[in-house]
Amino acid sequence: MNGYDKDWFAVDRIDDDTYIISEYRHWEETHCYLLIGKARALLIDTGLGIRNIAEVVASLTDKPVTAIATHVHWDHIGGHRYFPDFYVHESELDWINGKFPLPINVVRDMVMDRCDAPNDFDVAKYELFSGAPTKILRGGEAIDLGGRSVEAVHTAGHSQGHLCFWERERGYLFTGDLVYKDTLFAYYPSTDPQAYLQSLRKISKLNCKRVFPAHHTLDIQPEIILRMRDALTDLDKAGLLKHGSGTFDYGDWAIRL
């Protein structure tokens, strides 16, 4: 592999035609996933946009690429500008069209927070991506890559239009910010703790064999979905599954409400 910044991106192989592209030099340790079919490829999230993720993708496939966002937060759409073909959930169309609910100076501060940025990176020039998607998703769509199909599953909670991506044939579940090992965020005004629980209940019914999160450790097993579902169910029964309840720590993961 050559032609991209190997100091910024780390590439791991899941199988012959599935790759993880990670950005470990920012504290959020964002993971993007490249799924290659016979006809085209799907890039699940495009990272922070500090370096050009399209150069990594080009080193792995020559197929046409569709970018798809688990959700329209800055650390998941930073590289969208390199992919004119991209899909977004209908609930977050305003966000992708310049109405993201945080000012750019706040986003720039988050970009630089605990970030070992390249010396030539100028955060003052960092802008939130905006653009018109080639397809609007509502959840339930099957995305055909040619001999390979991925389903978009609407999983609101962390954001209103959050999506997980389910590859039934391989048992792969790409969970975005809904499931990962660290502190889950459900305290922003744009989050919905009750919807979070419903989304965990939804994906807990899938017979997934491997879980691929958008952040932090990749050492994560499907059983964590059941533990998260049960923990949030208990919080709900106690009247605590709501904004302002605080942070609840369960050992290898936590949730901030």
What domains, with CATH codes, occur in the chain?
A: 10-182+205-221 (3.60.15.10)
Across 20-29, average pLDDT: 98
pLDDT in tens, 30-78: 999 999 999 999 999 999 999 999 999 999 999 999 999 999 999 999 9
Across 210-221, average pLDDT: 98
pTM exceeds 0.95, yes or no: yes
**Buried-state track 123-149, b at ≥16 Cβ within 10 A, e below 16:** eeebebbeeebeeebebebebebeebe
Query: Mean of the per-residue pLDDT values for the chain?
Result: 97
Predicted local distance difference test score (pLDDT) of residue 209: 98
3-state secondary structure of 227: helix
Residue 3 pLDDT grade (very low, low, confident, very high; cuts 50, 70, 90)? confident
Rounded Cα gap, residues 31 and 181, in angstroms: 13
Rounded Cα gap, residues 131 and 23, in angstroms: 23
Rounded Cα gap, residues 210 and 129, in angstroms: 30
Predicted local distance difference test score (pLDDT) of residue 102: 93
Rounded Cα gap, residues 197 and 201, in angstroms: 6
Predicted local distance difference test score (pLDDT) of residue 106: 96
Residue 26 pLDDT > 60: yes
pLDDT in tens, 228-246: 999 999 999 999 999 999 9
Residue 2 pLDDT > 70: no
Task: Find residue 151's DSSP bridge partners.
Answer: 142, 166
**Buried-state track 22-41, b at ≥16 Cβ within 10 A, e below 16:** bbebbebbbbbbbbbbeebb
**Do 139 and 163 contact (CB within 8 A), yes or no?**
yes
Predicted local distance difference test score (pLDDT) of residue 15: 97
